[in-house]
Each structure stands twice: as C-alpha cells, then as structure tokens.
Amino acid sequence: MTYRSASRPVFSGLEFDLARGGRLAILGRNGQGKSTLIRILGGVMSPSEGRLHWSMTSSWPIGFGGGFQGSLTGVDNIRFIARLYDKPYAELRDHVDDFAELGRALYRPVKHYSSGMRARLAFGLSLAIEFDCYLVDEVVAVGDARFQQKCRDELFDRRQQRAYMLASHSEELVREQCDRALLIEGGRAKVFNNIDEALDIYRWLRAS
C-alpha cells in the first residue's frame, strides 16, 4: 500500500496482516503517517496505490469526529448511525448518553461542540456498536484521568478478545496492549513480532 501527499510519499510498499484477536501497534514519529494509515484503514481516506482487504468488521477511527454532520444535533447523528448500522436508535442513544457524559449537549448542533466533546461523542458511538477490529488513534487521552480510565476499561478490558490497531506515542500503553508493532519511518514500514525490539528502535528514532 502506498499513500502520497502533494509533495512526497507518506509511506510506500506497506504490507501487513492482522489475525482475529491480534493487537498491532502503529509506531512512528510525528508526521510519519500513523494517523493517515488509521484513516485509510477506517475508510476515511483512500490509498494512492495498493489494496485494502478486510475479512472482519472494523470500526471507524475511534474518536474521529470528521464524519459528523455539524448542523445536526448529537442525537440526530446517533439516529443516522443507528440507521446506517441497523441498530435500535433508543438503545444506541442511551449507550452513548451514558458513556460520553455529554448531558443536554447531545441536543445541541455538533458544530458547537469543542474538540473534546466531539471526541467523546465519537468514542461513545464507536463503542456502542460491536466490531471485530477497533482502530485507535491516541484517543484514550480524551478527557480527565477518570474518563481516560473509563475509555481504557471499555475498550481494552471489556473487548479483550477483539482485534486492535493502535497508533500511540505511549510506550506503556503499547507494551501493555499490543503483541506486534508496525514501525513507520521515512516513508517505509516494518513489522516487528517483538514489541520490546520495536519500542527500542522507536525510542532511538525519537531521540535522534
């Protein structure tokens, strides 16, 4: 798989697989293409070349609020997702309401939300629908410490049998949650089956 920006390839020749229940960390310094890859995997963007094949259901990038219709309220966006995935609206709304803790803000247009509120809504919606694989892009840092722990419990503990692709700068989180790593650097990528080896190289790259 290859993705090019206007001036250069962000990454090229990228190839990897993920088994059901597998947990793959996506590592790379800022600007190396981690979030771009997550968005391609989630269908938000398309690769410049290559093919993406899913043999299991995947989430959109957790915390990604770019798919919301800003003029609609939070509950209207929930209603749209419920129709799209053929889920009971009231059940989905109650789950998001309980998890995102947005209160009456759910009845306001999303365009008036802060980035953190949009992330809470997106996170709540992502976890209201069951997927085989979850795409995570550093969003466990949303909110205060209590809410962050709530996100971790809901995503990593209650769904510990699901697959993940996790883009994160947190070595602690990667070591705790992932069993393989994809390291992107200078437009190239390599898969590591040893997390400690991948983190050692990643740490060296960040310090250079």
User: In this structure, is residue 28 part of a structural domain?
Assistant: yes
User: In this structure, is residue 150 part of a structural domain?
Assistant: no
Distance CA 182, CA 23 (A): 11
| Domain shared by 48 and 79, yes or no | no
Distance CA 15, CA 144 (A): 36
> Domain span at residue 73?
63-130
Q: Are 159 and 131 in contact (CB under 8 A)?
A: no
| Domain shared by 137 and 55, yes or no | yes
| Domain shared by 140 and 54, yes or no | yes
| Domain shared by 137 and 205, yes or no | yes
pLDDT at 139: 59
pLDDT at 28: 92
pLDDT at 63: 61
pLDDT at 88: 95
Distance CA 187, CA 75 (A): 40
User: In this structure, is residue 155 part of a structural domain?
Assistant: no
User: In this structure, is residue 39 part of a structural domain?
Assistant: yes
- Under-70 pLDDT residues of the chain: 6-7, 63-67, 139-143
Using only C-alpha atoms, the chain has a radius of gyration, in whole angstroms, of 17
Number of structural domains, the chain? 2
Q: Are 50 and 60 in contact (CB under 8 A)?
A: no
| Domain shared by 138 and 197, yes or no | yes
- Secondary structure E strands in the chain: 3-4, 9-11, 23-27, 133-137, 163-167, 180-185, 188-192
User: In this structure, is residue 182 part of a structural domain?
Assistant: yes
Q: Are 136 and 42 in contact (CB under 8 A)?
A: no
Last residue of a domain, one of 87, 108, 130: 130
| Domain shared by 105 and 167, yes or no | no
User: In this structure, is residue 149 part of a structural domain?
Assistant: no
- Residues with Cβ within 8 Å of 27's Cβ and at least 6 positions away in sequence, in order, are 34, 167, 174, 181, 182, 183, 184, 198, 199, 202
| Domain shared by 101 and 139, yes or no | no
User: In this structure, is residue 151 part of a structural domain?
Assistant: no
The 10 Å Cβ neighbour count of residue 131 is 18
| Domain shared by 124 and 139, yes or no | no
For residue 200, what is the domain's CATH number? Answer: 3.40.50.300
